[in-house]
């Protein structure tokens, strides 16, 4: 999409994905390769799914589960640890008064800022991290299950925030 501004359904993109893998495995350059791109069964729900998977597949996003202390300032400290990276998704719900388990999507770059650098940085700053980027269950379901039932919360309020799409927007809000 970034190169041609065209969108294909997942099955139609299989040929392109195959060529990309072939080129990567064999170190091919300077050749013209052709794939047949077929199908047009794309709706906006499927398009969102394709876009999310493309970011993960290209190494431009990491999905991680992180444990932070359930105390004032710990979320801000986590955002400081993320640094200038863009948070693409964040899910949290209170569970216990000791620690919080959060589900986070973070923008990465395969060469300049790989997923491994993010995880090493966070663990080095004391945040236990579980990398879920390659976990199909997490990509499809875990984001909708974060938090579960909130114990000892009788007056729960659900809030939704939308931030500008730029690095640091969430941190500036905090």
The domain segmentation of the chain, as residue ranges, is 14-42, 59-173
Tens digits of pLDDT across the chain (174 residues): 667 666 666 677 788 889 999 999 999 999 999 988 776 666 666 666 666 666 777 778 889 999 899 899 999 999 999 988 888 888 887 767 888 888 888 888 888 888 899 999 999 999 999 999 888 777 776 666 665 556 676 777 777 778 777 777 878 888
Q: Tell me, which fold does domain 59-173 have in CATH?
A: 3.40.1020
- In the block, tokens 């919080």 appear at 100
Instruction: Please tell me whether residue 108 adopts helix, strand or coil conformation.
Output: coil
- In the block, tokens 């040929």 appear at 15
First to last CA, the chain: 34
Instruction: Please tell me whether residue 129 adopts helix, strand or coil conformation.
Output: strand
For residue 141, what pLDDT is reported? 67
Rounded CA separation 44/33 (Å): 30
Helices (runs of H) and strands (runs of E) counted in the chain: 6, 4
Q: How many CB atoms lie within 10 A of CB 62?
A: 26
For residue 142, what pLDDT is reported? 67
Q: H or E element: which one contains 55?
A: helix 44-57
8 A C-beta contact, residue 107 and residue 88: yes
């Amino acid at each position: 999409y970034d190169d041609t501004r065209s969108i294909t359904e997942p099955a139609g993109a299989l040929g392109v994905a195959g060529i990309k893998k072939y080129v990567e495995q064999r170190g091919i350059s300077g050749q013209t390769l052709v794939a047949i791109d077929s199908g047009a069964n794309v709706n906006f729900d499927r398009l969102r799914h394709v876009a999310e998977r493309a970011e993960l597949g290209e190494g431009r996003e990491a999905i991680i589960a992180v444990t932070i202390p359930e105390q004032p300032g710990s979320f801000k400290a986590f955002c400081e640890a993320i640094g200038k990276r863009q948070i693409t998704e964040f899910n949290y719900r209170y569970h216990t008064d000791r620690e919080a388990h959060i589900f986070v999507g973070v923008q990465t770059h395969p060469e300049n800022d790989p997923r491994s650098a993010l995880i090493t940085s966070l663990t080095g700053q004391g945040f236990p991290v579980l990398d879920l980027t390659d976990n199909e269950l997490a990509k499809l379901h875990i984001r909708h299950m974060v938090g579960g039932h909130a114990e000892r919360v009788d007056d729960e309020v659900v809030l939704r925030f939308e931030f500008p799409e730029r690095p640091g927007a969430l941190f500036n809000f905090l």
